Structure 1
Amino acid sequence: MRNDRELSPEQLAAFGAELDALRQRTLADLGEVDARYIRRIRSAVRACCWTGRALLMFGWFPPTWLLGSLLLGLGKILENMELGHNVMHGQYDWMNDPEFAGRRYEWDIVGPSDFWRHTHNHIHHTYTNVLGKDDDVGYGVVRLFPEQRWRPFYRWQPLWVALQAVLFQYSVAIQHLRLDKLYKGRISREEVRPLLRQFNAKLLRQSVKDYLFFPVLAVLFGSSGLAVLLGNALANLIRNLWTFTVIFCGHFTEQAAVFTPQSIEGESRGHWYLRQLRGSSNLSGGPLLHILTGNLSHQIEHHLFPDLPARRYAALAVDVREIAERYGQVYNCGRLSTQFATVLRRIWVYRLPNAEAASA
């Protein structure tokens, strides 16, 4: 469990001022190195995706089919995590390059980018881990904290989580539709209908590309359309499982905290920073892990500075950890295997009411 020191209003103000100063120093240092980096990531995404798709055109030949699927999956991971997610946060808007404009970027999953910019950039990053306000806390189907009210269907949440992981891009996509509010009568069908049209259009485009266009192209070239279709499905599955793991490890580990709506009333800048620190979890590892996670292995730094280029998080983490420890705050960081194990334990334990969970 966490053992953070409580801070006085004066200490909170000083804590926030130090993090503000760290952010401003980083902003002032942005330049060509950062621009060159994101362009290289874009090139890597294209190289992985097109090489993977080309190899899948050889059909069922095992080495090329497996390598093609893996390369396509890698390209989708890089596009989803290090390119799309970070660009949509406006991390590269200062470049004034339309291709890296946060409000215009459309990523390679079934969920429209406009949906993500609202549910993630605005709602989640404003109300990080605030019960009843941050829909990312369990995504409406998973109980991960004892503070969440228990409902009978949570008993089966290991099954719901497994399905969510396999179909994670769809889970992210429908989150913005707020079907739970529609079911409870809090919003009307008329409010949902335009969002549903937007979702269906993006779903159709993605499905046609992965499961119709390229398989048909393979048939026209005398190859196996089924091999290409299943290769695309495997690539999407790889991406879904990886992004699910990274996101859950960033928010729902043993030491991640949740907050009540009352606790953020009149919240100061320093308190907002403190909430991001306490509600987030980092993953330790090398440069390859950080790139493959879109640098969300530095989830703490991402929640503190969502609009700074993610490639800067590793350097920022050194200063953030020092500041956190100086103010008596737990800096939650651990290996992927360790952090994910605590996530799985939460999923298993909190499927039960609190009284039963305490003895589990």
Structure 2
Amino acid sequence: MTLAPERTQTRSASVNSRLRVTSAEPRPQRPEFKKSGKPNPAAHLSPEQIEEIGRELDALRAEVMDSRGAADAAYIRKVIAVQRYLEMGSRAALLFSGVKYRGVRPMWWLGTAGLSVAKILENMEIGHNVMHGQWDWMRDPKIHSTAWEWDNASPASQWKHSHNEIHHTFTNVLGRDNDLGYGILRVDEDQKWALFYLFQPIWHVVNALIFEYSIAAYDLELGGYLAKKNRMSEEEKAQFRKNAQETLAKIKRQATKDYVVHPAMATATFTGSTRHTLTANIVANLVRNVWTNTIIICGHFPPGIETFEKTSIEGETRGEWYLRQMLGSGNIRGSKAMHVMSGNLSHQIEHHLFPDMPSNRYAEIAPRIRDLMERNDLKYVTGTLAKQVGGVYWKVVELSLPPKREGTTRRATILRAAKKALRTKSSGRRY
């Protein structure tokens, strides 16, 4: 194996090194109920028990990370090779996608299916995990978190900041983790309801279809910029403009590759495949977007996962951070092929505990994580893909409505919110 010099990189979200194994001051017993009135799933654990969980997970992590070797390196190199050959073969097939045989364009179907799978593999099992630093230990300059640029609209540098540094640090903390509904979905009862959420079943479907562009806007923090640009300093505005230019340049490169260069290459075959190659690329990107969105929502929003208040993480120890990762994530049961196609994010609990652990090792440690949680009377959220998807979509619809309150109806709450919005809009016109 060729070793490259270690690279300077942004702070890893591995075990969250800013946290101590134990606290300098005694940690309080967790209250029986949250501020919202919901039961606290970890109230039965003493601070000492939580610290012991942290030590057990630290030991498990050290055991696996110390055993990384040739078999792990061979795995990721094989996945990358399969993905690249599959993409090249699929694009070659699409050069003849205009040819019909008995009323069917077999090369279009073959090329589109292969390209869809190749894009999913590149984004999920390769890009996402490489940029988490899972393979940095190999010191391969071509498979390194500081060098990888993925087949996605969002620039790698911006994604690593919003995902590795913010999301994995503040997992499911209300008001701190922007991944909790991406700012457009209400996915937990403790999120305050607003009239905007009434339409979230529509936003949810649209978001899935254009997911790579939604993530690009999210990583850019476009919503935050629009909300507070009048209060931002000139330096902050300049930084946003710089990031926006980087994002637009990445989108342009992606669109040129998929919607100009490859369709144009099909022109040389004289098979009438230019238009069909274009549609194949559009379909492959849609399939990749919907699949990626589906896996992510099943890991973050299924029934049974917990959210946390800002105050609950003050002075948080590593054991408490581990606890939050376990309670704030959900898994998907399935075949080995499904796990690979999900980037092993079907083991979302294990991934959130150890983001920089090689993804091929998650299945190995999953039974031990489940045993640890069950021994400590913590719910290990898991289910089939159909069950998790159904649960998330039910939540999206149910939580689009205001919470039920004694003495009023949901309809009355919606009408009051609509009237208030109209008054605010009318007031704005007068001024």
Using structure 1 for the length normalisation, give the TM-score.
0.97
Residue 219 of structure 1 corresponds to: 267
Q: Deviation digits for residues 237-268 of structure 1, max 9, x if unmatched?
A: 11001000000000000001111111100101
Letter in 1 for 2:249: A
Secondary structure in structure 2 of the residue aligned to 1:353: coil
Alignment of 1:42-121 (within 5 A): 42-60=80-98, 61=100, 62-121=105-164
- 2: CA distance between counterparts of 1:320 and 1:134? 24
1:275 aligns with 2:324: yes
- 2: CA distance between counterparts of 1:269 and 1:190? 36
Residue 14 of structure 1 corresponds to: 52
Q: Deviation digits for residues 104-130 of structure 1, max 9, x if unmatched?
A: 110001110111100101100000011
Q: What is the aligned counterpart of 2:237 among 186, 189, 205?
A: 189
Higher helix share: 1
Q: Deviation digits for residues 266-312 of structure 1, max 9, x if unmatched?
A: 10111100000000000011111110000000000000000000100
Aligned residue-pair number: 360
Residue 385 of structure 2 corresponds to: 336
- The Cα of 1:16 is off from its aligned counterpart by 0.4
1:32 aligns with 2:81: no
- The Cα of 1:153 is off from its aligned counterpart by 1.3
- Give the RMSD, CA atoms, in angstroms: 1.7
1:198 aligns with 2:246: yes
- The Cα of 1:192 is off from its aligned counterpart by 1.3
- 2: CA distance between counterparts of 1:204 and 1:197? 10
Residue 421 of structure 2 corresponds to: none
Letter in 2 for 1:177: L
For the pair shown, the structure with the greater C-alpha radius of gyration is 2
- 2: CA distance between counterparts of 1:132 and 1:343? 21
CA 319–326 in structure 1, closer or farther in 2 if over 3 Å, else same: same
- 2: CA distance between counterparts of 1:7 and 1:276? 16
Q: Deviation digits for residues 118-166 of structure 1, max 9, x if unmatched?
A: 0101100000011111111111111111111111111111110111000
Letter in 2 for 1:12: I
Residue 284 of structure 1 corresponds to: 333
- 1: CA distance between counterparts of 2:367 and 2:196? 42
8 Å contact from structure 2 (residues 123, 151) kept in 1: yes
- The Cα of 1:32 is off from its aligned counterpart by 0.3
- 2: CA distance between counterparts of 1:91 and 1:358? 50
Letter in 1 for 2:136: D
* Structure 2 portions without partners, runs of 5+: 1-37, 412-431
- 1: CA distance between counterparts of 2:409 and 2:221? 32
Identity within the alignment, %:
44
Letter in 2 for 1:25: E
Letter in 2 for 1:324: M
- The Cα of 1:190 is off from its aligned counterpart by 2.4
Residue 175 of structure 1 corresponds to: 218
8 Å contact from structure 1 (residues 3, 330) kept in 2: no
Letter in 1 for 2:193: W
Q: What is the aligned counterpart of 2:170 among 99, 109, 127?
A: 127
**Does 24-33 or 187-196 show the bigger shift?**
187-196
Residue 315 of structure 1 corresponds to: 364
- The Cα of 1:220 is off from its aligned counterpart by 2.4
8 Å contact from structure 1 (residues 257, 278) kept in 2: yes
- The Cα of 1:2 is off from its aligned counterpart by 8.3
8 Å contact from structure 1 (residues 137, 144) kept in 2: yes
1:151 aligns with 2:189: no
- 1: CA distance between counterparts of 2:226 and 2:242? 17
Q: Deviation digits for residues 161-198 of structure 1, max 9, x if unmatched?
A: 11100000111111122222222225453231001100
* Structure 1 portions without partners, runs of 5+: none
Secondary structure in structure 2 of the residue aligned to 1:231: helix
- The Cα of 1:358 is off from its aligned counterpart by 9.7
Residue 284 of structure 2 corresponds to: 235
- 2: CA distance between counterparts of 1:13 and 1:198? 43
